[in-house]
Structure 1
Amino acid sequence: MSSGNNLSAARLKGDFDVERLLAELAVLERTQWAAQRTYGEGLEPSEDTVLDWRVLPLRSPDGRADRTDPGGLGLVEYAATPWLEKTPYIRSILDSLPTELRAVRLMSLGVGAEVDEHRDQPYGLAAGWVRLHIPFVTNPEAVLTLDRQPHTWQPGTFWFGDFSRPHSVRNGGSERRVHLVIDAYVNAELLELFPAEFRDRVRWSEVLLNRPEIQLPEDELSEFQSTFAIPDAFLYGEPEELADASGPDRPARLRLDGGRLVLEVDDEPRAALVHLGEGEFRALGWTAERTVKAERTGDGLRLRFRMRHGSRMEETVRSAATAAA
């Protein structure tokens, strides 16, 4: 992507009725908001944050009402939680977005709370999904600093922020800050919501667009069942780590379960796989930022583990033994 601050944030098309947003927020105040969590290396989130940073999930893995984290690779689809059924206006906004959605959360930062500078990875146009915000409640002292630029987005507006860049947030006011935070896959239709001056600056060769699933029949999927060694960096590392052939491997296999291939690592199911075409798969909860491509050989399969960031791709190859081999 282009350097500098010009692509770090953009106000998107769409203005929403603040009174209706606040009315539905009032309905949800009667529920139990929980502490923000991040997503670790297992299938469950990490421990609660110690900050006054409360979350109510509206979409989560399997629609679970206790998942305040954004999720990651897994075995289940993202789905609406029971709280979304109580908010028809918010649901209509989400339904209007022209792309697939991942996690959707209402996030409340309390008075005096501060989140230190960090990056959210992997996010951004080059990673294939973006984080969008609709503010509900704010105050002049609730400031997001993104790529060294301060922002106080106003209620009812619609924003993209490139949170893969350094950012922090501090609520120095006397009122909490509440935003609806939407994780969305990137496609051409979603990008039409961005302002023209933003789109004119985008390096389109660096945008990773969402690829729809191409379903395969079970008899064809069964041919990919195999055992192999998977690079540890592919699961939780960075592209440069995948390129380093000296990194550790873990024992893994692909097996057919419920009409999908499931990736098991260390004898534990880690992710259901989504076929993107030509024998290439991503995990549920991931974009094509990480894929595995299976190629048939004379005595089994050759697996290409790939990690992408825009036009950059790192790849490492492992042999796999099939059940029939």
Structure 2
Amino acid sequence: MRLPQPFYQLPVLFDVACLQTEVAALPDEAWAPHPDGVPGNSAARLITVGGAESDAHVGQMLPTRWLAGMPYLRQVLAGFGVVWSRSRLMRLAPGVGVPEHADINYHWHNRVRLHIPVFTTPEVRFHCDGQSVHMAAGETWLFDNWRRHHVENNSTVERVHLVADTSGTSDFWQFARKPLPPRTQWRTLPMKPGANPQVLTEADQRSVVMPAAEVQLLIDDLRGELTVAADSDEARSRGERFDRLLESFVFDWRQLCALHGTAGRGLAQFDGLTHSVHQAARALGDGLVMRTNGVDAMLVLEKRVLQHLIVE
């Protein structure tokens, strides 16, 4: 989710000792390597598709057995009053980092990533779009993961953050975006022995074919960010043709949705349109990037739109 500024700190604190006790009790088998093989990165899965040991983004989200055994962490998540998508404890080994990147996948178009540090030291720094912060244990942070960001753990100990994905309610966003009051006025959530609140999790969001309104939303967002990496008459011309191609694609997808609906009829025509637009875009996309983060426009089109138009 694109945000007006790189970082937001929320005026709420959590019991660090309770968090650390629950996380430290996890067995070794709870920790899985990073799905992309990033060295020194591992995670304990808390909310996943079907509650299984999975890194998938799409499907019915449910608590895992690890979250079931962490009563305070469930209270923390439930206390925000929002619906959670994929959520994990993310561990970063001493002396390593998370390489610079931007989160461009479809999953991130309408979701934000919330961070609550559990184990950390001042040597751990989070960088986003030229700004840098230390997220202290028990604090709550959001950041704009559409912008380029990276993490450095320059300490001699492991860093562990609770990292949870949500689109947020109106109350959540009013709370997150209001001016930060003095720290003495921040809310604190203590452990409530015996409490077992319901953690709200996302239902399966998929239709067989992506509705035309959502396609337009995604394409309009991409078109608004489109620019050229190196300015020239030829690059600007390709950018204009790329933009017109995307506009035409939305019209044609809407017509197919009008004819067939989104339940799965006419899949060959939807697939044919997707393929033809993909090929035409590849011929035009060289040197076209996103204005905010410099990511290749063709990569964004593929990962945020084309790969998610039809459920296989």
Query: Same fold per TM (> 0.5)?
Result: yes
Describe how 1:1-325 pairs up with structure 2 within 5 A.
Answer: 7-37=5-35, 48-67=36-55, 71=57, 74=58, 76-121=59-104, 127-194=109-176, 196-197=178-179, 239-240=222-223, 244=246, 261=263
Distance 1:228 1:143 in 2: 38
Distance 1:78 1:60 in 2: 5
Distance 1:2 1:108 in 2: 25
Q: Partner of 1:197: helix, strand, or coil?
A: coil
- Contact conserved, 1:128 with 1:186, CA < 8 A, in 2? no
* Cα shift at 1:24: 0.2
Q: TM-score, normalised by structure 1?
A: 0.57
- Contact conserved, 1:123 with 1:163, CA < 8 A, in 2? no
- Contact conserved, 2:30 with 2:66, CA < 8 A, in 1? no
Return 5+ residue gaps in structure 1 as ranges.
38-47, 199-211, 214-223, 256-260, 268-313, 315-325
Distance 1:58 1:79 in 2: 8
Equivalent residue, structure 2, for 1:305:
none
Equivalent residue, structure 2, for 1:282:
none
Q: Residue deviations 1:174-199, cap 9 Å, x none?
A: 0111100010113211113225227x
**Kindly, what percent of the aligned residue pairs are identical?**
27
Q: Partner of 1:83: helix, strand, or coil?
A: helix
- Contact conserved, 1:14 with 1:158, CA < 8 A, in 2? yes
Distance 1:166 1:20 in 2: 33
* Cα shift at 1:98: 1.8
Letter in 2 for 1:139: T
Letter in 1 for 2:134: T
- Contact conserved, 1:124 with 1:164, CA < 8 A, in 2? no
Say if 1:124 and 1:191 are closer, same or farther in 2 by CA, change over 3 A: farther
* Cα shift at 1:118: 1.2
Letter in 1 for 2:37: T
Say if 1:164 and 1:264 are closer, same or farther in 2 by CA, change over 3 A: farther
Letter in 1 for 2:94: V
- Contact conserved, 1:36 with 1:54, CA < 8 A, in 2? yes
Which is richer in helix? 2
- Contact conserved, 1:13 with 1:195, CA < 8 A, in 2? no
- Contact conserved, 1:122 with 1:164, CA < 8 A, in 2? no
* Cα shift at 1:57: 0.9
Q: Count the aligned residue pairs.
A: 221
- Contact conserved, 1:115 with 1:170, CA < 8 A, in 2? yes
Alpha-carbon RMSD: 4.2
Letter in 2 for 1:118: H
Equivalent residue, structure 1, for 2:302:
none
* Cα shift at 1:35: 1.4
Distance 2:125 2:110 in 1: 27
Return 5+ residue gaps in structure 2 as ranges.
181-201, 224-241, 270-304, 306-312
* Cα shift at 1:54: 0.2
Which is richer in strand? 1
Say if 1:129 and 1:31 are closer, same or farther in 2 by CA, change over 3 A: same
Equivalent residue, structure 2, for 1:303:
none
Structure with greater contact order relative to length (CA < 8 Å, sep ≥ 6):
2
* Cα shift at 1:148: 0.9
Q: Residue deviations 1:28-84, cap 9 Å, x none?
A: 1443311122xxxxxxxxxx41311001110011111233x5x1xx3x311111111
